[in-house]
Amino acid sequence: MTGDAAKALDGFQNTLREAAALAARQLLPDDRLWCFHEARHQCLAIASKGVQAEGAAMPEESITPDAAMRVAQLEPAQLAAWVAGAPEPQRSALAFFYLNQFSHREMQNLLDLKMDELARLISHGRAQFQAWLNTVTDDRSPR
């Protein structure tokens, strides 16, 4: 989320410290998503102190049938770098979406968004990702 491994480690460590402090007082939340929510807020706080990317309109393209094949051509770090470059809260929505571990309701709660906002962020992010994907992968679709 931070686009910087050292900053991400700080956010992770801050989350663990907070969890330990809450556990010591027997106040650790029962919510299985608490640590993700806390880590996101830690990363946002850390990232807000650094240089921020300028907002720019990114091209969008319709999701193509060969998208999965194109994604398979990527190194995991390429996908992570692209998601890390997205503006917040789209970055978090896409990260949670591509982790494929959360329901849409859980993502909505983690990101403090309305369902239509979440759907819009994911939809636009996927279309922007498709445009980028088309430029960095080979077109091996049958003609």
Bigger pLDDT: 124 vs 54:
124
Distances from the Cα of 92 to the Cα of 2, 7, 11, 54, angstroms: 10, 16, 14, 17
SS3 76: helix
Confidence grade of residue 110 (pLDDT, cut at 50, 70, 90): confident
pLDDT given for residue 123 in this prediction = 92
Architecture of domain 64-143: Orthogonal Bundle (1.10)
pTM for the model stands at 0.61
Task: Identify the residue with better confidence: 96 or 140.
Answer: 96
Percent of the chain with pLDDT strictly greater than 70: 87
* Residues in contact with 143: Cβ distance below 8 Å, sequence separation at least 6, in sequence order: none
Stretch among 45-54, 62-71, 84-93 having the lowest mean pLDDT: 45-54
pLDDT, position 92: 85
